[in-house]
């Protein structure tokens, strides 16, 4: 499988208004394979969002390189191709919607690509169906729920036919049911072959990922599959993060001398382990 | 400071095609010093309800008493109620507007007409209570601070009014786990130190289970359940019907009971679960 995203010794420095500059990404090398579901965790200020913006060429590296499908993001001529390949969905649904009708909003991207109207129609319908809001296509976005609005934003990205979508805390402002709608959509898109980079604070959203990286101070502090990462309970706490309650319980029981695997992530796993013990 | 709500109904856009009944026939009492969790779906009426408690909205029908003041009373000065009942909205950091942190937090107390000395004391105390260092931060612009810090400044602005009731609408939404724990711990400290009555609106069942004395569950403008966390989280069927969850640890305990394991049903925290499971393991060893 080829690489969807590749960063090589990537550095990014925010220029402060006084003499103080902040280095948000420090020498970061990361490869994301085509079709992978990568979750990026980290506390506020760890450099997650900066990394996302670097992949989408919203920010350009201060040092090192970012390649999206082998295209160098610092090559200005490729910028539109890069953004078409790697779309981005942000935290606040209200900041991403430009039109007054759902389907017009979804059509905004392809229209700007100068695509033939009949083809735009087809793309928009497909995108809306894919995220499950086709029946809302003629509604004004402000009448939708947060989860629905976020799916409009995802449909808008899908209409660009991307191979990769970067989600920057797409569920942070949603209630539990909206969060579930968005997560189900993300998982479905990944099954259909779209590479996913999902940035989040909700640990339970990382449980289904192929790989998890935890960022701290602009660097990768932990990396592995969800079980490997979440079994490092103490390290995660040190980094200001949570683990799912059952993982924490497993950790606490191990400390008391109970023999139980430390990489339990779900309630059902815990139930079957405890049933053997009790 | 006690709050009594009697037969409260609120209708938005009454007698128009957009008429919506947001609250219908709400009844409850909150005692002085209670820590209450308010949960429910988006659109269940939580925000409409809390806006009644400091007089931002008036009941369409029904009565609200805040410390024996009837909010409907035309002679009542609502500023008196708003001094006593502090409301922190969702994403309060977007409401900051002053050029320094000091002026921001001092805005409310200044409008109360307090002396400079008193204002200074209150700003210092409020910033301290939300975990910010007065000296370091008072002259900075709120807009150059992080989101979590800005939110704490917004909360400090309400605390500086010295309310007796503090209502917070999803104070931890969008924060990372560390920021969330900091804010919740500070709210808890305020509650225990100053005997404040606190009403916390949250989507996180884990946080609610850890903190509150009483839970009010709203659904479609009505109160679906009211009781202690243990009482509420044992009503799994009703909660699921409404579309709300229970803490992961409570789910675990239920599933263990379904498998025939005799573990206490009303466990809410990891600590409790650990203790119960250890007891069961030891019992089995000794058997």
Q: Please, what is the Cα angle at A78 between A73 and A80, to 5 degrees? A: 100
B-contacting residues of A 51-80, CB under 8 Å? none
Q: Say if A275 is an interface residue toward chain B (CB within 8 Å).
A: yes
Alpha carbon of residue A221 to chain centroid: 18
Average pLDDT, chain B: 91
Question: What is the CATH classification number for the domain harbouring B173?
Answer: 3.40.50.300
The pair of structure tokens assigned to B35 is: 């820590």
Q: Say if A192 is an interface residue toward chain B (CB within 8 Å).
A: no
Same domain flag for B162 and B271: no
Same domain flag for B259 and B133: no
Quick: pLDDT tens for B185-209.
Answer: 999 998 998 889 999 999 888 889 8
Quick: pLDDT tens for A47-103.
Answer: 998 999 999 999 999 999 999 999 999 999 999 899 999 999 998 888 888 899 999
Average pLDDT, chain A: 92
Return the domain boundaries, chain A.
3-226
Quick: pLDDT tens for A173-215.
Answer: 888 888 888 999 999 999 999 999 999 988 889 988 999 999 9
Residues in Cβ contact with A276 at an 8 Å cutoff, skipping those fewer than 6 apart: none
Same domain flag for B166 and B268: no
Closest by CA position to A57, among listed A47, A48, A67 = A67
Residues of A in contact with B178 (CB under 8 A): 43-44, 240-241
Residues of B in contact with A252 (CB under 8 A): 270, 274
Instruction: Name the 3-class secondary structure at B99.
Output: coil
pLDDT band at A2 (very low <50, low <70, confident <90, very high): confident
Q: Please, what is the Cα angle at B47 between B46 and B49, to 5 degrees? A: 65
pLDDT band at A158 (very low <50, low <70, confident <90, very high): very high
CB A149 within 8 A of CB A93: yes
Q: Which CATH superfamily is domain A3-226 in?
A: P-loop containing nucleotide triphosphate hydrolases (3.40.50.300)
Work out the angle between the directed axes of helices A146-158 and A117-130 (0-180°, nearest 10). Answer: 140
Same domain flag for B64 and B195: yes
**Residue B275 domain boundaries:** 247-287
Closest by CA position to A175, among listed A150, A154, A198 = A150
Same domain flag for B131 and B215: yes
Q: How many domains does chain B have?
A: 2
Same domain flag for B197 and B273: no
Q: Residue B190 and residue B184: Cα distance in Å, rounded? A: 10
Quick: pLDDT tens for B128-180.
Answer: 988 899 998 999 999 888 788 899 999 999 999 999 999 999 998 888 888 88
Same domain flag for B217 and B272: no
Asked if the interface predicted TM-score (ipTM) of this complex is over 0.85, the answer is no
Shortest Cα–Cα distance, B275 to chain A (Å): 9
A-contacting residues of B 226-285, CB under 8 Å? 243-245, 247-249, 251-252, 255-256, 259, 261, 270, 273-274, 277-278, 280-281, 284
Alpha carbon of residue A72 to chain centroid: 21
- pTM for this structure? 0.85
Is the predicted pLDDT of residue A18 greater than 80, yes or no? Answer: no
A173, A177, A267 member nearest B248 (Cβ) = A267
Closest by CA position to B156, among listed B144, B168, B170 = B168
pLDDT of residue B245: 80
Same domain flag for B235 and B279: no
A43, A267, A278 member nearest B252 (Cβ) = A267
CB contact under 8 Å between B177 and A43, yes or no, is yes
pLDDT of residue A111: 92
pLDDT of residue A204: 87
CB B199 within 8 A of CB B212: no
Same domain flag for B127 and B144: yes
Same domain flag for B67 and B154: yes
Shortest Cα–Cα distance, B272 to chain A (Å): 10
DSSP sequence for A154-200: HHHHHTT--SEEEEESTTTTS-HHHHHHHHHHHHHHHHTT-EEEEE-
According to DSSP, the residues that pair with A219 across neighbouring strands are: A216
Query: What percent of chain B shows pLDDT beyond 70?
Result: 100
pLDDT of residue B53: 93
């Amino acid at each position: 499988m080829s690489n969807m995203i590749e960063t090589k010794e990537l550095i990014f420095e925010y220029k402060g208004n006084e003499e103080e500059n902040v280095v948000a990404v420090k020498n970061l090398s990361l490869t994301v394979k085509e079709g992978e579901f990568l979750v990026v965790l980290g506390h506020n200020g760890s450099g997650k969002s900066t990394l996302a913006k670097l992949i989408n060429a919203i920010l350009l590296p201060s040092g090192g390189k970012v390649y999206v499908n082998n295209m160098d993001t610092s090559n200005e001529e490729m910028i539109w191709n890069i953004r078409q390949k790697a779309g981005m969905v942000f935290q606040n649904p209200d900041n991403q919607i430009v039109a007054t009708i759902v389907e017009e909003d979804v059509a905004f991207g392809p229209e700007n690509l100068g695509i033939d109207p009949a083809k735009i129609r087809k793309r928009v319908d497909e995108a809306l169906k894919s995220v499950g809001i086709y029946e809302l296509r003629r509604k004004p976005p402000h009448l939708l729920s947060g989860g629905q609005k976020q799916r409009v934003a995802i449909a808008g990205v899908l209409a660009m036919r991307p191979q990769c979508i970067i989600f920057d805390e797409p569920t942070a402002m949603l209630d539990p049911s909206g969060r579930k709608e968005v997560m189900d959509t993300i998982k479905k898109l990944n099954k259909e072959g779209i590479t996913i980079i999902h940035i989040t604070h909700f640990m339970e959203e990382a449980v289904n990922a192929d790989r998890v990286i935890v960022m701290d101070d602009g660097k990768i502090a932990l990396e592995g599959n969800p079980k490997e990462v979440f079994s490092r309970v103490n390290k995660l706490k040190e980094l200001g993060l949570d683990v799912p309650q059952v993982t924490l319980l497993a950790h606490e029981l191990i400390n008391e001398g109970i023999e139980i695997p430390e990489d339990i992530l779900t309630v059902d796993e815990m139930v079957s382990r405890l049933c053997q013990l009790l | 400071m006690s709050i009594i709500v009697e037969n409260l109904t609120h209708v938005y856009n009454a007698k128009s095609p957009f008429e919506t009944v947001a609250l219908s026939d709400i009844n409850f009492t909150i005692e002085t010093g209670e820590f209450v969790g308010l949960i429910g779906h988006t659109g269940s009426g939580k925000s409409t309800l809390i806006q009644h408690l400091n007089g931002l909205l008036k009941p369409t029908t029904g009565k609200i008493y805040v410390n024996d003041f009837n909010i409907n009373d035309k002679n009542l000065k609502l500023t008196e109620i708003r001094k006593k009942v502090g409301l922190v909205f969702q994403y309060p950091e977007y409401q900051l507007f002053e050029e320094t942190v000091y002026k921001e937090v001092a805005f409310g107390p200044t409008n109360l007409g307090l002396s400079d000395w008193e204002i200074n004391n209150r700003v210092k105390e409020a910033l301290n209570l939300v975990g910010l260092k007065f000296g370091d931060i008072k002259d900075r612009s709120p807009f150059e601070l992080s989101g979590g810090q800005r939110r704490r400044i917004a909360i400090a602005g309400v605390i500086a009014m010295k309310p007796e009731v503090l209502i917070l609408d999803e104070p931890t939404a969008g924060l990372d786990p560390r920021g969330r724990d900091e804010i919740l711990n500070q709210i808890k400290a305020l509650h225990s130190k100053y005997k404040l009555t606190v009403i916390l609106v949250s989507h996180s069942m884990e946080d609610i289970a850890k903190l509150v004395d009483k839970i009010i569950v709203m659904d479609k403008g009505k109160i679906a359940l009211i009781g202690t966390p243990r009482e509420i989280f044992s009503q799994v069927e009703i909660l699921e019907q409404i579309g709300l969850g229970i803490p992961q640890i409570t789910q675990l305990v239920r599933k263990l009971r379904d498998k025939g394991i005799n573990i206490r049903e009303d466990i809410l925290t990891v600590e409790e679960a650990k203790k119960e499971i250890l007891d069961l393991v030891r019992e089995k060893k000794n058997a």
